[in-house]
Amino acid sequence: MEALAEIAAIIARNVSKDGFQATPIERLTLVRSSTVTMPMPNVYRPQLCLVAQGRKEVTLGDRVFQYAPGRYGVITYDLPATGRVIDATPQQPYLCVYLDFDPVLLADLALRVPPSSAVPSTPIGKTVSDASVALLDAVLRLLLLLDDSAARPVLAPLAEQEILYHLLAGPEGGRMRHVTSSQGRLAQIGRAIAWIGKNFREHFSIDRLATEVGMSPSSLYDHFRAVTAMTPLQFQKQLRLQDARSLMLVEQIDVATAAFRVGYESVSQFSREYRRLFGEPPARDVARLRASPELAVLA
């Protein structure tokens, strides 16, 4: 595809070193990695991720999503997932585009764009699909504006709107429309996800969370797992462990302090669960990240 090759060339031209690169276009981020990376848990925001070169995989709960050139992922909630680059070299680096969703623009378009006839099989909050030619062309038009500062303020919002149009009109449009609704079970799950995101350091029960969002405990459990591929407590655990890892890296605090700060009462339990998620005990994992930061690029 010519458009995909041009997208890759623009990313490579604008990102000279591995990592995330903010751009002059609001909500648009470019990513480069010249090597495969270790699995890196992160909280993914509602966004589009399009891979232009290389490959990666993202694990959400018990589901694994594979990205290849020309494949895009749509994330519709703030979700803790683990990503890693699985195909990249200095000569052929991994290159991708992230576009965060503007909720106001998305909600407005959802009212004006006729829904696709495709019905999503499950309400899972993350999917991966093959990009259409129209979607690739729209992404390319947005990226070309990185080199046109005069046209950028006028045309970038139009290009972003075109991208969202193709997503809403495409096979994953139904999932995106659920996010713009303030009614129904999936809207309640969205509120549950947001509530855990604000309170994950605190102890809570399924009963309390169900009361907070106006659902029965059994309905909350079933719908939450359908959307996130995790139970609410597994979701909380991932947020706690990711937060602890960040605290140890950024603030250079010890394992016990990090464990207690994110809500654990037992350091041994924290260490067991940390190793299960990250593959190494906390101190060893943090030391490895500090020694080899190039392996820790978020995918």
Q: What would the 3-class secondary structure string for 216-251 be?
A: CHHHHHHHHHHHHCCCHHHHHHHHHHHHHHHHHHHC
Same domain as 30, residue 134: yes
Same domain as 214, residue 284: no
Decide if pLDDT at 108 tops 70: yes
**What mean pLDDT, rounded, does the chain reach?**
90
Same domain as 276, residue 204: no
Same domain as 145, residue 257: no
Query: Which of 152, 179, 206 corresponds to the end of one domain?
Result: 179
pLDDT tier for residue 253 given thresholds of 50, 70 and 90: very high
Tell me the residue range of the domain where 276 lies: 234-296
Edge-to-edge strand list for the sheet holding 28-33: 19-22, 28-33, 94-100, 47-53, 71-75, 126-130
Question: Residue 208 to residues 27, 211, 235: CA-CA distances in angstroms?
Answer: 35, 5, 15
Phi, psi dihedrals of residue 126, rounded to the nearest 5° = -145, 135
Decide if pLDDT at 65 tops 90: yes
Per-residue model confidence as pLDDT tens digits over 30-46: 999 999 988 888 888 89
Q: Supply 231's token pair.
A: 């139970």
Span between the terminal Cα atoms of the chain, in Å: 23
| pLDDT for the residue 138 | 97
Mean pLDDT value across residues 222-236: 92
How many domains does the chain divide into? 3
Decide if pLDDT at 220 tops 80: yes
Same domain as 87, residue 148: yes
Same domain as 173, residue 264: no
| pLDDT for the residue 56 | 96
Same domain as 155, residue 131: yes
Check residues 178 and 91 and name the one with the higher pLDDT.
91
Same domain as 159, residue 133: yes
Residues 6+ apart with CB under 8 A from 5: none
Same domain as 61, residue 26: yes
Distance CA 155, CA 89 (A): 34
Same domain as 219, residue 109: no
Same domain as 171, residue 55: yes
Q: What is the four-CA torsion angle of 101, 115, 158, 96, rounded to 10 degrees?
A: 50
Query: Which of 137, 161, 179 corresponds to the end of one domain?
Result: 179
